[in-house]
Amino acid sequence: MIILHHLENSRSQRVLWLLEELGLPYEVKPHARDARTMQAPPELLLVHPLGKSPVITDGDITVAESGAIVEYLLDAHGDGRLRPPAGSAERRLFTYWLHFAEGSAMPFLLLQLVFDKVRTAALPFFLKPVAKGIADQVSKTFIAPNLQRQLDYMETELKQRPWFAGDEFTAADVQMSFPIEAAAARGGLGDRHPALSAWLARIHARPAYRRALEVGGPYTL
């Protein structure tokens, strides 16, 4: 039995969605974030040394990291589903976007989150304007331009085809859901990215996506 250690409001939601898309039997072990730090609880250290989510166990196999989990599930249980044929142009796109999600898209979104917290951090009054000034400058000159460049790039790609790896929905779309949902939640799409907005509407309409939300509980970014 596949066991998903599911952390609320986290990347593990897309692993839950993938399990639903594949129609696999699984069990969810929910974990709540620490109310003060918003970090994963210490009991996840018993599952994996880093104590992070997502992480799955499948018998005596433990797999962490979203991309590695996606590849493991497709290799072990996919039966050729949700992944284009090896050697095809679509497979190259699939591999690229599968890794782009965490390797390129998420770092700038995480930086944005960190510097947003710097702006609102509890600091002595004389340090607050300094911290805010630094955060504003880094966001303006480094984070925001890179985020926009990435979103514009994704927009251009999705104007050419309905899904990231071609004409068919694949697990690359599952993997790309978190960074795009995070960008949308922080107001990063808007009228400038209609193809991305339409893609979001398509994934949100999928029955497996809706079932995963019912199982996983509240999901906010």
Domain assignment of residue 148, yes or no = yes
67, 100: one domain:
no
Residue 150's pLDDT band, with cuts at 50, 70 and 90, is very high
pLDDT of residue 34: 66
Largest CA distance in the chain: 60
Mean pLDDT lowest for which of 39-53, 119-133, 173-187?
119-133
Cα–Cα distance measured from residue 178 to residue 126, given in angstroms and rounded to the nearest whole number? 37
Percent of the chain with pLDDT over 90: 62
Find the CATH number of the domain harbouring 180: 1.20.1050.10
64 shares a domain with 109? no
The domain of 161 spans 89-206
Same domain membership, residue 103 and residue 187: yes
Q: Write down the pTM of the prediction.
A: 0.90
Q: Is residue 153 part of a domain?
A: yes
Residue 19 lies in a domain: yes
Same domain, residue pair 101 and 200: yes
Query: Are residues 160 and 120 both part of a single domain?
Result: yes
Say if residue 111 is in the same domain as residue 191: yes
CATH no. for residue 69? 3.40.30.10
Same domain, 118 and 67: no
Q: What's the mean pLDDT when you consider all of the chain?
A: 89
